[in-house]
Chain A
Amino acid sequence: MSPHRPSPLGELVQHKRAIICCGAGGVGKTTTSASLAVAAARLGRKVLVLTIDPSKRLAETLGVASNPPEPIALSAERLRAAGIQPPGSLHAWMLDPKRVSDDTVHRFAKDEGVVQSLLGNRVYQQATQMVSGLHEYAAVKALHKFITDGVYDLVILDTPPSRNALDFLDAPNRFSAFFDSGVFKLFMPGATGLIGRTAGKLINKVLGTVFGQDFADEMSAFLASFSSLFGAMNADFKQIQAFLATDAAAFLLVTSPSEAALAEAHFFHDKILTLGLPFAGFVLNRSAARTEKEFPLTSMLPADASPALSSAMEKLKWLARTEHLRATRDRGILADLGLRGGASAFAVPLPELATGASDVATLSTIADLIIQERRSGR
């Protein structure tokens, strides 16, 4: 292990064009993503970090608390505090599913008529208000847009904290299942052939009974307009799928040492490998694997220690046992992740920092660690 060898995360933020951070909720994924962005910007890169649902404080630190319509630059003062100098820059954006899908409609619709009929359609409006699937879809759209625009050297995507976070990679297939099969045509007026007409009638009857005829009609209209966008969107998706499979992209799994978070990490790891995506490594966040401390001992106390200090020392000794055990456990978990990732991946620990870890100073501290942290697990 040469001291001159760059850290694996440092290497990642230096060379990649897209980093996708996955993992369970509550493991510090958003803070890690923002810290990676600070580290990359310090190395002189133009970075955009896309987040889904940052905590209020982190959103304020990044300047996205007011949900700006486009990526926003970190203020000059914060850039200085984070040690970022030109040409390095850091932009942040909070993904708004409604905004992203509206942009998609504008971009792919053949004419203004389609745009208006879609944006005004109540089914469409409803769809963009509901969460399922749309965050994921919005995320990949935004990622693709910012990469193809070429304004940024690196885009870091903080995926939503759900098992379905990687579903966006399947999105073209799922849409295809619906549209390519010609299934949706049955909903359209004027379905052809005996089977088509019969099926169309049954569908209309069921939908009309369940939703009311007005709503069923509107749903058909939505599908008709949407299907006209589909070809273009599909091509777009295929492009981003291809891009994400290249070496320019990297998938990073963030986890904490908790059993549940590790189970999620294993789930995502399998999924990333199954999809043939470039897996970079594990970040074991909130870990005590690198903690090197002394045990508190009664002999450390001065001869004239107060009763309060003496009783506090007993409590510290008790807490120390737990913390020492945790450090040992986390080293084991780290080694295990290293083995699991194999020779081509890495496993690096990041420590638990003071809570509310969302100001620029904290992000900078983590960025320092990211650039320095040595390869581990082998």
Chain B
Amino acid sequence: MQDLLRKRVALITGKGGVGRTSVTAALALVAQRAGKRVLVAEVWDGTDGASPLAQLFGVPRLPRTAAALAPGILGTQLRPDVGVELFLGQVLRIARVARAALDFDPLRRMFMAVPSLRELGIFFHLLSYLRASHERGEPAHQLILLDMPATGHTLALTGLPEVVLRLIQRGPIAEALREGQSYMNSPEKTGAYVVTLPEELPVSESLELLEGLQRTSVPSGGLFVNRMPTTTFSPDEVAAVHAFLPGRSLFGTDGFHRAQEAQRAVQRLAKSTSLPLVELPTVESTGPALAQELAERLQAALVPAEGAR
């Protein structure tokens, strides 16, 4: 999984409740320590509500456009309105015209009313960060970590260029989409990483998600199996407990069963895909402490040890 830190975009995906957001925040910490200029992003949900991703950095929500979130880490929402404005600025050449066009209420409503334009705006906002350059023409944001929305929305976003290009083949939109594809469809530049749990159903759903990603031509980079049980039982111990349990109702038996299920789930994942697989333990803390703890576990998998360099 070491090549994650060499990508331009890592799409962190997975079903709700598997710890996708915590993994995103932890990856940002690891990347920052490895000396990367890193940007964490999430698709704006359209409300002023708190963002779970921002809370892992100790702030209530992410800024509207890229701004410091923690030392060496920038954060941003990906917003349709910002994306559309940036895009119009580029297409209409003159910023004044773009602003006037958007200040003009009917036109703004028009842009926001058509559903696919919302996705397009998000896409352009992301593209603007990919394009942004630092001194000497290096990318301003070397690694963009995107905490993806729920599965259906993820595939809508990754599948967007193909769908829209069928509709609009020429002109500035088509050009921007093709430019986006040059990043999103390149295994060197982009990787989708699926976060899952070591349980039967989440594993099935992750395998389905990987198939979906393949259909949208976005390269998959690996799997994070979150909340692995830390207490495991040897085959002898398993047999002994199975003989001991009948007729008893004990605390601790849920964890016992979960440990066996986790083993089966990881074996199944390893058999069904050749992608790199990183196991993460259950971490009981919350907020920034949770991100820190997970980052320490991720460090070993993502950054080569000192001696090996």
Contacts and interface: CB of A to CB of B under 8 A. Distances in A.
Interface of A: 24-27, 53, 55-57, 122-123, 126-127, 129-135, 160-164, 177-178, 181, 183-184, 186-187, 199, 202-203, 206-207, 209-212, 215, 219, 256, 258-261, 263, 267, 291-296, 300-301, 306, 308-309, 311-312, 315-324, 327, 352, 355-358
Contact of A134 (B47, B101, B115, B233): B115
Given A131-B156, A132-B115, A258-B17, A57 B204 contact: yes
Which of A135, A292, A311, A358 has the largest number of chain B CB atoms within 10 A?
Answer: A311
12 contacts: A56-B208, A129-B116, A132-B118, A163-B46, A163-B49, A202-B101, A206-B101, A258-B17, A294-B251, A300-B248, A315-B256, A319-B253
Interface stretch (B61-69, B184-192, B239-247, B270-278): B239-247
B32 interface: no
B16 A25 contact: yes
Contacts of A135: 152
Given A53-B152, A161-B150, A212-B168, A132 B52 contact: no
Nearest to B174: A212
Contacts of A181: 106, 109
Contact of A319 (B105, B163, B168, B256): B256
Contact of B110 (A187, A301, A306, A323): A187
A296 B49 contact: no
Nearest to A125: B167
Provide the main secondary structure of the chain B interface. Answer: helix
Contacts of B256: 315-316, 319
A371 B37 CA distance: 55
Given A131-B152, A187-B110, 19 more contacts: A26-B16, A133-B115, A162-B149, A162-B150, A207-B110, A209-B92, A210-B87, A210-B173, A212-B170, A215-B168, A293-B250, A293-B251, A294-B249, A306-B240, A311-B237, A312-B238, A316-B250, A319-B251, A327-B251
Contacts of A294: 248-251
B105 A183 contact: yes
Interface string B34-61: 0000000000011101101000000000
B85 interface: no
A96 to B, nearest CB: 12
Contact of B251 (A177, A183, A186, A295): A295
Contact of B114 (A127, A131, A356): A127
B119 A26 contact: no
Interface of B: 15-18, 21, 45-47, 49-50, 52, 87-88, 91-92, 101, 104-107, 109-110, 113-116, 118-119, 149-153, 156, 163-164, 167-168, 170-173, 199-202, 204-205, 208, 231, 233-234, 236-241, 243-244, 248-256, 261, 286
Contacts of A163: 45-47, 49
Closest 8 CB pairs of A and B: A25-B16, A26-B17, A319-B255, A320-B252, A26-B16, A320-B251, A308-B236, A316-B252
Contacts of B17: 24-27, 256, 258, 260-261
Nearest to B160: A130
Given A183-B105, A315-B231, A320-B252, A308 B237 contact: yes
A126 B163 contact: yes
Contact of A324 (B118, B170, B249, B251): B251
B21 to A, nearest CB: 7
Contacts of A320: 250-252, 255
A259 B22 CA distance: 12
B249 A293 contact: yes
B156 A55 contact: no
B254 A210 contact: no
A206 B87 CA distance: 12
A203 B107 contact: yes
A323 B252 contact: yes
Given A25-B150, A132-B118, A183 B173 contact: no
A129 B250 CA distance: 50
Nearest to B120: A130
Contact of A323 (B88, B163, B251): B251
B21 A260 contact: yes
A203 B106 contact: yes
Given A24-B16, A187-B110, A210 B47 contact: no
A161 B149 CA distance: 10
A309 to B, nearest CB: 4
